[in-house]
Amino acid sequence: MKLVFANSAWVSAAERLILRGGTWQSVRLRVRYGLFFHPAAGPVLVDTGYTPEALSGDRRGRMLRLYGALLKPQLNADEQVLPLLRRFGLSPDDIRTIIVTHFHADHISGLSLFPKARFIASDAAWARVKMRGHRRNLRHGVFTELFPPDFEARLQRISEKSRVAPRGDMPGGADLFDDGSVVAVDLPGHADGQFGLLFNGLDRPLLYAVDAQWLLTALIENRTPGFPATLIAEEAAAIEPTSAMLRRFLSTGGEVMLCHDPAPTAYDLAASDPEVG
């Protein structure tokens, strides 16, 4: 399976805010999203990363504008989602499936660019978005103006997918394409309904663990940041059990990739090579 991750933007944060025992030195974090080619579903996006819709779009509410002003993401023009598609000879209309790992702005801001796509996402989390009022959604880090108006009509509910049972330290989850190639693995802690993706059709099983941690070092060395980072977690008590599961997966030879870790990986897009992937 051809699989590539691009970096939509850079966001800087003090190391000690994202790594227990870290310094005040600033770390430049990536904001990844993915593209893979499934034999039946065709080109599939994994989130959309940051796009201008989150930072300068005229649909932004006051709180989304404040969010952008505080985080100050620096968009990476060459690796935005539309230029990435052009590298592979694709247009937005060619994308019929977008896997939405969770509903934070740096993962959904480009959904409206894809009018023909269906969205595979947590329907339980979506039900809670609809139930909560605007202010409560903001407390959960959800900016509803970033959802396409017909999001629910195009939602493919993850609860309706068949399940793959865990095998030893290999996590189970929802079989997204009914062939075992991509399994959605629940990753509670960071965000409501967050799940990662286990890619089984690679030489080495890869678990894209999204925002389970910001840094791979924090995961491997069990250095989960404490206060104030826990204030923005959906379920802070679940972060360590989720991280422990990921460490067990690593110990059996699997590979874990995170959305924001700054270190390049074998799956990251090489800006100088349009044929990468």
Q: What is the pLDDT of residue 55?
A: 87
- Taking the mean position of all CA atoms in its chain, how far away is CA 13? 18
pLDDT band at 1 (very low <50, low <70, confident <90, very high): confident
Least confident among 10-19, 57-66, 97-106, 198-207? 57-66
Mean pLDDT to the nearest integer, 61-80? 92
pLDDT of 275 above 50: no
Q: What's the mean pLDDT when you consider all of the chain? A: 93
Q: What is the pLDDT of residue 197?
A: 98
Mean pLDDT to the nearest integer, 90-98? 98
Which pairing describes strands 26-38 and 155-157: parallel, antiparallel, or unpaired? unpaired
pLDDT of 109 above 60: yes
pTM value?
A: 0.95
**Which class for 200: exposed (0-12), middle (13-18), buried (19 or more C-beta within 10 A)?**
middle
pLDDT band at 134 (very low <50, low <70, confident <90, very high): confident
pLDDT band at 276 (very low <50, low <70, confident <90, very high): very low
Residue range 2-257, CATH number: 3.60.15.10
How far, in Å, CA of 203 to CA of 206, rounded? 9
Mean pLDDT to the nearest integer, 61-90? 94
Task: Report pLDDT digits (tens) over 254-273.
Answer: 999 999 999 999 999 974 34
Mean pLDDT to the nearest integer, 213-236? 90
Q: What are the beta bridge partners of residue 231?
A: none
The structural domains of the chain, with segments of one domain joined by +, span 2-257
pLDDT of 228 above 70: yes
Which residues are CB-contacts of 190 (< 8 A; sequence separation ≥ 6)?
Answer: 102, 210, 211, 212, 233, 234, 239
In the chain, % of residues over pLDDT 90: 82
In the chain, % of residues over pLDDT 70: 97
Mean pLDDT to the nearest integer, 232-248? 94
**Residue among 26, 32, 34, 38 nearest 1 (CA):** 38
How far, in Å, CA of 95 to CA of 42, rounded? 8
- Taking the mean position of all CA atoms in its chain, how far away is CA 262? 15
Q: Are 44 and 118 in contact (CB under 8 A)?
A: no
pLDDT of 167 above 70: yes
How far, in Å, CA of 227 to CA of 151, rounded? 34
Furthest C-alpha separation in the chain:
49
Q: Are 253 and 60 in contact (CB under 8 A)?
A: no
Q: What is the pLDDT of residue 270?
A: 76
Q: What is the pLDDT of residue 229?
A: 82
**Residue among 145, 154, 153, 75 nearest 105 (CA):** 145
